[in-house]
Amino acid sequence: MMNKIGWGIYIGDELDAVNAEALKQNKIGLTVDLTNLPIDVELTPETVAEVNLKLEELDRKFKTGHNVLVFCRGGVDRAPFVVALYYSRTFTKTSFRRAYELVLKNRPQTIQHWDWYEKFRK
C-alpha cells in the first residue's frame, strides 16, 4: 500500500505503480521508478550519478503540480531514501535527518539506511 509523505509525493512498491485504482484515488499523475537503482550495493560514482538523475527526474515531475509516486520493488529501501534525500535538497530548511524522520513517520515499514546517507555525502 502506498503512503502519502507530503507535498504531493507518495512512496510505494511495484504493485502500487500498476494499481490503476489506487493511482486514480490518490490523483497520482506521474511515477519515478527506482527498481533498478543499485544504491543498496556498493556506492560508486556511477551510482551517485544515477541517484542524482533520479532526483532530477523527481524534481521535474514534482514541479508539474501532479502527485508523484516514487517506487521501488518493495517500497521500503530505495524509494524512502531517495524521497528523504530529495526533501533535504529541495526544502532548504530541512536536514536529511528531519526529512528521513518524516518519511519514517508516514511510511513506518521503511527500513532505515542512515549508513547510505553517510556514504552518499562523502
Task: Look up the pTM and report it.
Answer: 0.93
**Domain span holding position 80:** 3-120
Q: What is the CATH number of the domain that holds 65?
A: 3.90.190.10
* Domains identified in the chain, total number: 1
Digit-coded pLDDT (tens) for 93-102 = 789 999 999 9
SS percent in the chain: helix, strand, coil, step 5:
50, 15, 30
Digit-coded pLDDT (tens) for 32-72 = 999 998 876 667 778 888 999 999 999 999 999 999 999 99
